[in-house]
Amino acid sequence: MASHPQSGQPSTPSAKPMRAPRIEADKKYRANHLEAVRKHDRERKRKWHAEHVAEHRRLVRLWRYNNPELARAKDWRNRVRRKRCKHKNGGSFTASQWTELKQRYQNRCLCCHRSETALLQLGLKLVPDHVLALVKGGTNDISNIQPLCHGTEGCNNKKGTLHIDYRGAVEQRTSESTKAT
Ligand SMILES: [Zn+2]
């Protein structure tokens, strides 16, 4: 089984034991090359995630189950971070703008195309997703919003902070079908 490259992150009891504490020279190297080391770590993590999507999800679930208080604290930190970003990046939309946007796309999730009614029956919700995530500098303006489903295995949850715009493909399909008729 693949082990998670980042220590302190979700891992199974059978995962490899934690690495021995870093020796002084290693610590010094990290301190002197902080940006490069962080970039390397980020790339390594991204590669691991891309190759082990299902495994990562399973590990996260297991970690959350075993560390409910840490998970709650993490959720809280994320909420605060999002709120700060929202305030910093600016933009806003009204409830009626959100309703109009959903109607424009037939009240469907732009990724899996399931209708809001079908989603509700499955315990999922149709939520405003930030095309460019708030934490990546996206604004809270309606022009940066797309309807995606949210919940267990929801498209919004899978997308995370990735920059994926589903609106273009849907608009294109709609205009093609209008042309065909
Ligand atoms: Zn969906």
139 CA to centre of ligand 1 in angstroms: 22
Rounded CA-CA distance 5/11 in Å is: 10
pLDDT band (50, 70, 90) for residue 17: low
Note the pLDDT tens digit of each residue in 134-160: 999 999 999 999 999 999 889 999 898
18 CA to centre of ligand 1 in angstroms: 37
Kindly report the average pLDDT of the chain as a whole number: 87
17 CA to centre of ligand 1 in angstroms: 37
Task: Classify 130 as helix, strand or coil.
Answer: strand
61 CA to centre of ligand 1 in angstroms: 20
pLDDT band (50, 70, 90) for residue 4: very low
Assess contact for 56 and 45: CB atoms under 8 A: no
Closest to 9 (Cα-Cα) out of 88, 51, 54, 64: 64
Q: Which of 32-41, 52-61, 117-126, 154-163 has the lowest mean pLDDT?
A: 52-61
47 CA to centre of ligand 1 in angstroms: 24
Taking the whole predicted model, whether its pTM rises above 0.85 is answered as no
Rounded-to-10 torsion of CA 101, 106, 111, 112: 150
Rounded CA-CA distance 7/18 in Å is: 7
Q: Is the pLDDT of residue 3 over 50?
A: no
The environment of the single-atom ion ligand 1, i.e. residues with CB closer than 5 A, is 109, 111-112, 149, 155
